[in-house]
Amino acid sequence: MLSYATRRVLMLIPVLFGMSLIVFSIIRLIPGDPAQTILGTKATQEAIQSLHHALGLDKPWFVQYVSYLKDLLTGDFGTSIRTNAPISQEIWPHLAATMELSFVAMIIAIFFGINAGIISAWKQNSIFDFTAMVIALIGVSMPVFWLGLLEQWGFSLELHWLPSIGRDNIRNAVNPITHFFLIDTLLQGRFDQFWVVIKHLILPSVALATIPMAIIARMTRSSMLEVMRSDYIRTARAKGQRMFWIVYKHSLKNAFIPILTVIGLQTGLLLGGAILTETIFGWPGIGRYVYNAIQYRDYPVIQSGILVIAFFFVMINLIVDILYAVFDPRIKYR
Amino acid sequence: MGESLLKVNDLKKHFPIEGGVLGRTLGHVKAVDGVSFAIEKGETLGLVGESGCGKSTTGRMLLRLIEPSAGRIVFAGKDMTKLAKSELRELRKDIQMIFQDPFASLNPRHTVGRIIEEPMIVHKLGGKKERKKRVRELLEVVGLSSYHAKRYPHQFSGGQRQRIGIARALAVKPKLIVADEPVSALDVSVQSQVLNLLQDLQEQFGLTFLFIAHDLSVVRHFSDRVGVMYLGRIVELGASKELYEDPKHPYTQALLSAVPVPDPNYQNEKIILSGDVPSPSNPPSGCTFHNRCPMAMDHCKTKVPELKELEDGRLTACHLY
Amino acid sequence: MTDPVLDVKGLKTYFFTDDGQVPAVDGIDFHVKEGEILGIVGESGCGKSVTSLSVMGLLPSPPGKVVDGKILYNGEDITYASESRMRQIRGNDIAMIFQEPMTSLNPVFTIGSQLIEAIRIHRKCSKKQARARAIDLLKLVGLPRADELVDEFPHQLSGGMRQRVMIAMAMACDPKVLIADEPTTALDVTIQAQILDLMLKLNRETKTAIIIITHDLGVVAQMCQRLVVMYAGKVVEEGTVKDIYNNPKHPYTKGLIQSVPDMREKKQRLYSIKGSVPKPGSIKKGCQFAPRCEYVMTDCLEQEPQLTGNEHLVRCLLYRE
Amino acid sequence: MLETATNKPPVDPQIEEEKSTPLFSEVWKSFRKNKLALIGALIVIFLILLAFTASFFAPEGINEQKLSMRLQPPSADHWFGTDDFGRDILSRVMYGARISLRVGFIAVMGSIIIGTLLGILAGYYGKVVDMIISRIFDILLAFPSILLAIAIVAILGPSLRNALIAIAIVNVPNFGRLIRSKVLSLKEEEYVVAAKSIGMKDSRILFHHILPNSLAPIIVQGTLSIATAILEAAALGFLGMGAQAPEPEWGRMLSDSREYIQDAPWTVIFPGVAIMLTVLGFNLLGDGLRDALDPRMKH
Amino acid sequence: GCSSNESSSGSGGSKKQTTLVFGRGADSTSLDPAVVTDGESFKVTKNIYDTLVEYKGQTTDVGPGLAESWDISDDGLTYTFHLRDGVKFHDGTDFNAKAVVFNFDRWMTGKKSGKFAYYPSMFGGFKGDKGHIIESVTAKDDSTVVFKLKRPSAPFLKDLAMSPFAIASPTAVKKYGKDYGRKAAVGTGPFKFKDWKSKDTITLVKNDDYWRKGQPKLNKVIFKVIPDNTARLNALKNGEIDLMDGVNPSDIESLKNNKDLELFYRPPMNVGYLGFNVEKEPFNKKKVRQALNHAINKKALIDSFFAGAGEPAKNPMPSNIAGYNDDIKPYDFDLKKAKKLLAEAGYPNGFKTELWTMPNPRPYMPAPQKIAEAIQANFKKIGVDAKIVTMEWSTYLEKVSKGESPMFLLGWTGDNGDADNFLYTLLDKDAIGSNNYSRYANDKVHELLIKAQSETDENKRNELYKKAQVIIHEDAPWVPLVHSKPALVGKKSIEGFKPHPTGSDKLNTVYFK
Ligand SMILES: Nc1ncnc2c1ncn2[C@@H]1O[C@H](COP(=O)(O)OP(=O)(O)OP(=O)(O)O)[C@@H](O)[C@H]1O
Ligand SMILES: Nc1ncnc2c1ncn2[C@@H]1O[C@H](COP(=O)(O)OP(=O)(O)OP(=O)(O)O)[C@@H](O)[C@H]1O
Ligand SMILES: [Mg+2]
Ligand SMILES: [Mg+2]
Ligand code: NI
């Protein structure tokens, strides 16, 4: 188990290295000049040149890459061209914001998705099954940004039930410690703020949860169906076991591996793919952070942002792989 | 009897087990660990043994579908292990294979006609017309009708598919046919049809067979000589009548006694072996059978028995003899 | 004579699929008494497994459904018993082991927990007691290292060991009837011998009635007292093993017995039944075996034969009174 | 005389019955039974017709501005209402079908072609080639696809064509992996071993045995990918990184009329519904095809 | 979450609201005004810092700031400023003449750092550059600073009032070095910098020692980034913010009817235009340019996409700037005339071309893409088939300035309210390669503009500009489209908010009813 985990971690190194190289070269291909962006319409040729020099953009790209890599290894993400701020400080609040949102969305998606899938499989071909699966199909076909807009329109603009943007009350802002506001407010004992934070989470997380929920429900159903046709489930029934336990104990644990795969995949996707939801709900997350940086050609930020996202993506895969071993004892010995 | 058509000498296949941090080789599965035998022209050599003892691997190495780790295979005077790829493809015309699984061994997207024709296309035998004609002939030979050529495999039953597989093997007029469990996936009543068919074909075309099976009765029925394999080695080899009537190696004895005979009046004394077949990745030292052998002696644990000739061509690898 | 523990009368199980109705089991009668071993033989697809699943109430439904007939357990009609009643019977009164030892155990739970579960469903006892019983059971079926095995996962065991575990699980609550659906088909001969031996021993010790379902005539001949021969969803012959082997009446039974090669002597040529097993329901009229029968008469194509005779029953128009 | 002649098995009755090209008819048979899949197929067919005939049937052109008729609610004249230029939304939505379908098909074709090539290289030649290609796939897959697409569009410049290219690139690893694993598993199939054993060349094995048998999963994955490609294109359009004004691309239409959601909700609702239905159609179709083509799913 | 009553009671209980949340589209890049060029940054720094002189009210006329009064020598080369006494920086250090000198030294010697972009563009370069107009800045005593110029400059005072030339605490600048502007921002302004959550909020708190007594009236100002216009407005409607800029014109109509909210219009000091690359076929022909001038229905455009919040433009600069020539008769919307002109130019059937447009809204053009679409439709009517092209902002500027686009939408927001800052900056031949994107070169115009630069007599100067506008109108290198009055919207209860034409507002007079 341990060696399996180490092996997986070691395998990450070339992937991460490759990723950094790809990211680095991709963004150098992006036309547009950060200096021009910074200086805007007031730019003169001279000003651009001296800014280039100040930013080190006039060196050959591999020199830039090597020094970037060197910094990375020491945990230094560099500084934003635009704001001059060290990225390592800037990035965490954004990442935490996205992580909190994704986490809540994933909890919603997993809870409803798995249960809907299980019940659908258990009561295959029933009305519940049919309805749940049609809803799930619509769910996977739903453009998130559209759903987000509709949600915002209905629940916020028309009904005024929930806030439309942001993650906390601007006037009564959460004092960040970990930048996970749910945790921070609890740590500070601010239950009023906690409640506000929850309210802010509802709309975006539901929008974000739709697709994973639908995918998880579908995967759970098909995986459960497959498992429930298997010989060992027949064995369990032949023992006289109750259906409930067969479904929730025997089948679920077996069916969980493919479900885990999609959960992992979807979680990873949420991290970077939340851009659209973040745009609509003014969520100060990592997706928008990088997206904006692309707009401003803020190379170090794009670089580090994408890398961090990819890193988490890979880490989630790793965790999933390790979790496989928890759910499937056969894997440890592979 | 004439020259040996095929001679196999100390053939080995060790599959590496990969794992660890960087995909290092952790060990080897000794799937085949020094097998030697010869097949005369026109005879059938049976190969029996329990699952995983290396029968299929041996069979496939003869066509070099699996590259041998060591050893020599001499077919019709040529050393197969030394052939270049193109020569090898040429030679494969002379050795054909019949597979165990009648469902998996036919491409589901090709018509039966195309499946049978394909070997001829590959080896550029005859023109289009001739090939089509031959396909029809072959279908008749294996007991199907020529109009079956347009059908797809899934429209046939298992027995019929196995006939198609046989027709494909016959298409290039091979000298040797390696039949890897050709009937073990078939129903009893169909199994006998296919066995009869193979027997007929052998008589008609003078075919030479390496007949692999785990069903001892089938092997006895079909083979002239039989080799018994255990953990990648041949433990006993001899003419089938003698071997079945008077098995020498304790494993052969146990194996034969364990087969349930379809006759309620027949009661034999069963030798029940203890334990399971050990894993070929970690075979026991010395005689690989020693840990299950009812007659094991001390030196069986250390010394590997040679395959020795006992009488009239019977070979046994056991320290008792 | 004692009453049968399990008595199946005129059982019909149909599958209602998109392609229409499939009469997988089309009127089957058999019974088994305490301490008896009954064999059911038949070729693939003739409805053996469906019969056993019907008895257990484990048919995949939809599409499967018992449409007619009665299943009596100790005189109680359990054909349409409620699910909760069936749960009490399953495992407790009638237990079952399946063909595939490799897949019949849940891979993600330890052997012990699966055994304990089987015990605690029907017996009120603490986890500890159940565990002790589980270890006893493992010892009973002849597994070494029983107290370590309980904490191991199925994949750590070989096929033969897993089948022993399955038997242990089936025996957990001392069932009156044990249905073994091809318990040794997936196993090697030597292991098969071990398992059969074990079942015989258990039968002798516990007086559990055993129904062995198999296609291997040898297994039946060695194990069973009475035998039911099935063909295309129907019983074609029933009687004591000796009667049937010595004097097979139905042409199918005759053909079947003759088409098996005998290990003890080499037949020149095997007898073979022509054609292959029909899909259930594809023959609408007359005797299901008629198209393959050597002795077919015009009546056979029209009239459906009944099971006749006493003690040695046969379903063939040749024997009509 | 050979006994085989006398022993010839009678022809099974069920063999006689099936006549037409069996694979297709079999697929069609199981597909036909799947009502949802049929609905999906109908939606897709409808969209294709719409795309081809938009210029005949669309009540108005895509770009006829009537600023005096801005933001009219749905009415008999304008079933879907008008947008902020006074353009007829129904017409634009109909033309939009053409754009979305084109993006979907072309992007997916592109990924299939590149993915198949790479997948075959990796799967069939193995070793180092496989290592390199697989790692590249790993790396590409480690980036969230929308982010990668945005980056690519940023390089190429925002336009529908570039969005299409980005989507194609982003989807390459999916197909590449699919083909690779298919090639790897098919390589071990007994009929491929059989082909090898008759002395067939690798290339012939690849093109006659392996590729044709990988077709079904490609078709399925392809159909489902069209759905995602359309969604991705709409997302890029929504972010302003895809289709450019005044192209009536649905995502673009959505983002252009977002600001009117409270005052003129129809400007937002109809393009969204169009996207959803289209994607749904392809998803249903893909699911149906999978059930029909993948024997494992049959029960 | 934030229904409006909850939020208004959010910080002050039942008392009057004293925290203002200002919603805006982008974050600041730095809080050091000297190094930034973007309006978003100035919005904040304007409230932290003061300049020597300040614009009065909603105009660009100059009045006292940190300098109570000043004298100008007759030759226009020496400016003597008398500084206000007793002013302290937020860090407690004194504001005095040395501080002013320190700041100017910092800027004019900062060439190598590449950081101070505004300084050289307003004062002709850095110290040592040929065009640099400041000879020296010296502290005569603690409260007197003397500027010596190399040559007279008419807009000099207006320049000094610009946000980038706000005076920062020398102590803090030295102490924080590179981090100044991010970790610290210390000025003399009405609000003190409290904290900055990157890309999210910047919080300022009241400076109790502000030199304007009784001000500021607010206790706290939070600048909140909500990039999306619609989302920002939603936030305002939900009471999460109090005041915002960047209103979608499309929303203005419904906002007018909203009784909880109030619209504010920023007086225009900008121009949005459609530029032609006069070096490129067929735009090198005057008739073509004039034809296209006739082909655009500016009024419909402004009604639809500015919701009326803009004036149709006829000159390159807005009417409230001295020197504006109101006698010029605009090209009217007349397709026939347009067609005729086109035919005369040799394009009776029109032509194919590209219309480049900005990717995101700018103050002078809130919906550039839509305007492009509308113009595209207009042009189509006279046979000019323009394909809309767009790309990311910096690339756009870069390519347009290299002359790669035939026809483009752009605009300009004035820095200091001087005509020079429009006409010379945008249309002089010296500015080709920087802000003269049309690459328009007319020697007559050049002559007039250069002369005006050093002309210190207001009236004479204005005449020169008027003449230049006539020539420019005739040559038509642009279609001047609009002088937009960017709308801001805030709660009804906001009082004392007077948006300034420069785009950044001092919030010291703002309070809630
Ligand atoms: N490609 C491979 N890689 C690693 N091990 C292999 C490979 N192929 C076969 N083996 C191992 O080699 C051994 C012999 O396999 P082989 O298939 O030859 O047995 P067999 O006698 O044909 O068995 P069966 O009766 O089940 O067909 C087995 O233990 C198997 O696990
Ligand atoms: N779920 C099902 N749906 C439709 N038909 C079925 C189903 N299960 C079984 N059948 C049909 O019932 C018939 C009997 O199947 P059964 O499994 O009982 O055969 P068997 O005698 O056990 O064969 P084998 O030796 O292969 O195990 C088969 O022909 C099969 O087509
Ligand atoms: Mg084998
Ligand atoms: Mg069965
Ligand atoms: Ni709130």
Q: How many CA atoms lie within 13 A of C115 on its CB side?
A: 33
Residue of D nearest to A146 (CA): D272
Residue B64: per-residue pLDDT:
87
- C309, containing H or E segment: none
Count of beta carbons in the 10 Å neighbourhood of residue D20:
9
Residue, of E322 and D55, whose pLDDT is higher: E322
Q: What is the pLDDT of residues C207-246, one digit of tens each?
A: 889 999 998 888 888 889 999 999 888 899 999 988 888 8
Comparing CB atoms, the residue among D142, D145, D284 nearest residue A19 is D142
- Average pLDDT (A167-186) is 83
Which positions in chain B touch D212 (Cβ < 8 Å)?
Answer: 109
- Average pLDDT (A215-244) is 87
Q: How many CA atoms lie within 13 A of C68 on its CB side?
A: 10
Residue of C nearest to B275 (CA): C191
Q: What is the pLDDT of residues E29-41, one digit of tens each?
A: 889 999 888 888 9
Q: Start-end ranges of CATH 1.10.3720.10 in chain A?
A: 95-327
Count of beta carbons in the 10 Å neighbourhood of residue B124:
8
Q: Which domain holds residue C186?
A: 6-93+175-319
Residues 51-110 of B with CB under 8 A from D: 60, 63, 65, 88-93, 95-97, 99-101, 104-110
Residue D114: per-residue pLDDT:
93
Q: What is the pLDDT of residues C134-148, one digit of tens each?
A: 998 888 888 888 888
Residue C312: per-residue pLDDT:
87
Residue A166: per-residue pLDDT:
82
- Average pLDDT (A46-61) is 76
Confidence label for E210 from pLDDT (cuts 50, 70 and 90):
very high
Which positions in chain A touch C172 (Cβ < 8 Å)?
Answer: 239
Chains C and E touch, using 3 or more CB pairs below 8 Å: no
Residue A168 pLDDT > 70, yes or no?
yes
The radius of gyration of chain E's CA atoms, rounded to the nearest angstrom, is: 24
Cβ of D13 and C18 within 8 Å?
Answer: no
Cβ of B20 and A7 within 8 Å?
Answer: yes
Residue B52 Cβ contacting ligand 1 at under 6 Å: yes
Residue, of C59 and A329, whose pLDDT is higher: C59
Which positions in chain A touch D136 (Cβ < 8 Å)?
Answer: 18
Q: Provide the mean pLDDT of chain B.
A: 86
Percent of chain E at pLDDT exceeding 70: 97
Residue, of B11 and D80, whose pLDDT is higher: B11
| Closest C-alpha residue for ligand 1 atom 6 | B15
Atom of ligand 1 nearest to the CA of B16: 4
Residue B51 Cβ contacting ligand 1 at under 6 Å: yes
Confidence label for E8 from pLDDT (cuts 50, 70 and 90):
very low
Residues 235-254 of E with CB under 8 A from A: 235, 237-238, 240-241
Question: Measured between CA atoms, how close is B114 to chain A, in angstroms?
Answer: 35
Answer whether residue B36 is part of any domain.
yes
β-pairing verdict for C37-41 and C209-214:
parallel
CA-closest candidate to residue E196, choices E42, E31, E25, E46: E31
Q: Which residue has the tokens 């290219």?
A: D165
Q: Provide the mean pLDDT of chain E.
A: 88
- B98, containing H or E segment: strand B95-98
- Give CA angle at C144 (C141, C147), nearest 5°: 95
Residues 180-239 of A with CB under 8 A from D: 225, 229
In the sheet with E243-245, reading across from the earlier edge strand, the strands are E191-197, E201-206, E220-225, E19-24, E243-245, E487-491, E261-265
β-pairing verdict for B70-75 and B78-79:
antiparallel
Residue E298 pLDDT > 70, yes or no?
yes
- Average pLDDT (A126-142) is 90
| Closest C-alpha residue for ligand 1 atom 26 | B51
Q: Does residue C231 sit at the A interface (CB-CB below 8 Å)?
A: no
Residue, of A64 and E106, whose pLDDT is higher: E106
Residue E473: per-residue pLDDT:
95
Cβ of E37 and A42 within 8 Å?
Answer: yes
Tell me how far apart the alpha carbons of residues B218 and B44 are, in angstroms, rounded to a whole number.
12
Which domains are seen in chain D, by residue range?
A: 35-297 (1.10.3720.10)
Highest mean pLDDT among B142-146, E6-10, E55-59, E455-459: E55-59
Of B17-31, C197-211, D93-107, which gets the smallest average pLDDT? B17-31
| Domain count across chain C | 1
For the record, the structure tokens of D259 come out as: 């600001």
Percent of chain A at pLDDT exceeding 90: 16
User: Residues 6 or more apart from D225 whose CB is under 8 A from it?
Assistant: D108, D111, D171, D174, D175
Query: Could you tell me which residues are beta bridge partners of residue B120?
Result: none
In Å, how far from its chain's centre is CA D14? 37
Residue E278 pLDDT > 60, yes or no?
yes
Residue A3 pLDDT > 80, yes or no?
no
- CATH architecture label of A95-327: Orthogonal Bundle (1.10)
Cβ of D260 and E250 within 8 Å?
Answer: yes
Residue E274 pLDDT > 60, yes or no?
yes
Tell me how far apart the alpha carbons of residues B28 and D226 are, in angstroms, rounded to a whole number.
46
Residue B31 Cβ contacting ligand 1 at under 6 Å: yes
Residue A272: per-residue pLDDT:
66
Residue D7: per-residue pLDDT:
40
In Å, how far from its chain's centre is CA D36? 17
Question: Measured between CA atoms, how close is A129 to chain C, in angstroms?
Answer: 15
- Average pLDDT (D106-129) is 88
Query: Could you tell me which residues are beta bridge partners of residue E410?
Result: E273
Residue A11: per-residue pLDDT:
75
Q: What is the pLDDT of residues C302-312, one digit of tens each?
A: 888 888 888 88
Question: Measured between CA atoms, how close is A243 to chain C, in angstroms?
Answer: 10
Confidence label for E5 from pLDDT (cuts 50, 70 and 90):
very low
Residue A304 pLDDT > 80, yes or no?
yes
Residue C49 Cβ contacting ligand 2 at under 6 Å: yes
Residue, of E205 and E360, whose pLDDT is higher: E205
- Average pLDDT (B2-25) is 76
CA-closest candidate to residue C74, choices C33, C131, C102: C33
- Please report, for residues B266, C2, C248, the alpha-carbon distance to residue C223 in angstroms, rounded to integers and kept in the order given: 12, 21, 18
- Average pLDDT (C151-179) is 86
Answer whether residue C144 is part of any domain.
no
For the record, the structure tokens of B206 come out as: 């003078």
Residue D123: per-residue pLDDT:
85
Q: Does residue D18 sit at the B interface (CB-CB below 8 Å)?
A: yes
Q: How many CA atoms lie within 13 A of E244 on its CB side?
A: 29
Answer whether residue B140 is part of any domain.
no
| Domain count across chain B | 1
Confidence label for E66 from pLDDT (cuts 50, 70 and 90):
very high
Residue, of A155 and E228, whose pLDDT is higher: A155
Residue B55 Cβ contacting ligand 1 at under 6 Å: yes
Amino acid of residue C238: E
Question: Measured between CA atoms, how close is C274 to chain D, in angstroms?
Answer: 6
Cβ of B188 and C194 within 8 Å?
Answer: no
Residues 275-294 of B with CB under 8 A from D: none
Number of B/C CB contacts below 8 angstroms equals: 135
Residue C164 φ then ψ, to 5°: -65, -40
Q: Provide the mean pLDDT of chain D.
A: 81
Q: What is the pLDDT of residues B104-126, one digit of tens each?
A: 888 888 888 989 998 888 888 88
Residue C1 pLDDT > 70, yes or no?
no
Chain E residues with CB under 8 Å of a chain D CB are 229-230, 248, 250-251, 253-254, 300, 303-305, 359-360, 369-370, 372-374, 376-377, 380, 388-392, 395
Residue D298 pLDDT > 60, yes or no?
no
- Average pLDDT (A70-77) is 82
Cβ of D201 and B157 within 8 Å?
Answer: no
Q: What is the pLDDT of residues C4-22, one digit of tens each?
A: 888 888 889 988 887 778 8
Q: Which domain holds residue B228?
A: 4-84+210-259+269-316
Residue E470: per-residue pLDDT:
95
Q: Does residue D33 sit at the A interface (CB-CB below 8 Å)?
A: no
Which domain CATH number covers B76? Answer: 3.40.50.300
- Average pLDDT (B148-169) is 86
For the record, the structure tokens of C61 come out as: 């439904």
Which domain CATH number covers C301? Answer: 3.40.50.300
Atom of ligand 2 nearest to the CA of C53: 18
Q: Alpha helices, DSSP H only, in E9-133? A: 39-48, 97-108, 118-123
Tell me how far apart the alpha carbons of residues C317 and C303 are, in angstroms, rounded to a whole number.
8
Residue E11: per-residue pLDDT:
41
Q: Provide the mean pLDDT of chain C.
A: 86
Answer whether residue B104 is part of any domain.
no
Residue B22: per-residue pLDDT:
54
Q: Please report which ligand is nearest the Cα atom of B279.
A: 1
Residue C263 pLDDT > 80, yes or no?
no
CB B172 within 8 A of CB B135: no
- Average pLDDT (E70-74) is 91
β-pairing verdict for C94-97 and C177-181:
parallel
Residue E4: per-residue pLDDT:
37
Residue E474: per-residue pLDDT:
94
Residue E219: per-residue pLDDT:
93
Answer whether residue C209 is part of any domain.
yes
Residue A68: per-residue pLDDT:
82
- Average pLDDT (E1-24) is 60
CA-CA-CA-CA dihedral for D193, D195, D198, D200, to nearest 10: -120
Query: Could you tell me which residues are beta bridge partners of residue C70?
Result: C9
